[in-house]
Amino acid sequence: MSDWCDCFNFGISITKQASEIVMTMFQQHKDVRVKSSSADLVTETDERVENLLISAIRNRYPLHRFIGEESVAAGEHLELTDTPTWIIDPIDGTVNFVHRFPFVAISIAFTVNKQTEFGIVYSCVEDKLFCAQRGGGAFLNGEPLHVSGQEDISRCLVVTEIGAERDDLALSIMTSNIFRLLTLPVHGVRALGTAAVDMCQVATGGADVYYHIGMHCWDIAASAIIVQEAGGVVMDTDGSQFDMMSRRVIAASSLVVAGRVADMIQAFPCRRDDEQPV
């Protein structure tokens, strides 16, 4: 079990506080700005939630560092160090939030020495709190989580996303990946519009495998440890060790299923999160 229980409990408390802002604004009109593409959006609520979370954590743990989606978008340097670090996605599923599609999450991971100690994913509209501490198991609203253990790819429900990368090469590879998986066959392919909640479906056993290329560390850092603590496997899309900065991930019910997906899909080029623009 992690030695960072005070941070974990504080993280859950402030996540629930922040969710009140999300739910207050969910049905209201939003002023929307475009970031990297027409599918990469930000609202005032994203920024307000991130500021609340970082301010609260900084007041309690002044020596800790932060990686926040909107802070990075505003030009803040992204670097994961050995220092205790909070990795924050204030609204995972901003497009869903804008359209009032009910899969919107706050995602917080906490790392020390570059190792994730805990993850918290709160699906606000569903009122579902997914969480895990390293070595302590994974839970949904206090109930233990377990992956399905499925090893037959033809019996798998797959979760993925198209994502915000919309150039011709990325779209071609993403759609051809889905085509190849459907012709294996698999039972089906789903997309909820939030990487954090997508991956947590694997932890619940409701889905058997999730993969994605082009997301960011704040999208998946928390849910990765939740899947692992639920007994699942997390790796790079090429089958190598998971690296949250690589922008590539497979989370699966078993090593066999993860390997089959790694064999089938192709990754399009995307810059690592910890690489600075040229």
Q: Are 84 and 65 in contact (CB under 8 A)?
A: yes
Residues 6+ apart with CB under 8 A from 24: none
Task: List b or e across 120-145, with b for residues whose CB sees 16 or more CB atoms inside 10 angstroms.
Answer: bbbbbbeeebbbbbbeeebbbeeeeb
Is 162 one of the annotated active-site residues of the chain?
no
Is 168 one of the annotated active-site residues of the chain?
no
Is 76 one of the annotated active-site residues of the chain?
no
How many CB atoms within 10 Å of residue 172? 12
Catalytic residue among 46, 50, 70, 92: 92
Q: With CA atoms as reference, report the closest residue to 87 among 182, 238, 175, 196.
A: 196
Catalytic residue among 94, 111, 204, 237: 94
Is 83 one of the annotated active-site residues of the chain?
no
Q: Is 19 exposed, middle or buried (0-12, 13-18, 19+ CB in 10 A)?
A: buried
Is 198 one of the annotated active-site residues of the chain?
no
Q: With CA atoms as reference, report the closest residue to 2 among 112, 147, 142, 122.
A: 112
Give, as one character, the DSSP assignment of residue 241: B
Residues 6+ apart with CB under 8 A from 160: 177, 178, 189, 190, 191, 198, 210, 211, 212
SS3 224: helix
Query: Would you mind telling me the total number of residues written for the chain in this entry?
Result: 278
Catalytic residue among 89, 165, 198, 229: 89
Catalytic residue among 219, 220, 237, 273: 219
Catalytic residue among 69, 198, 208, 229: 69
Is 69 one of the annotated active-site residues of the chain?
yes
Q: With CA atoms as reference, report the closest residue to 271 among 199, 212, 215.
A: 215
Q: Which residues are catalytic?
A: 69, 89, 91-92, 94, 219
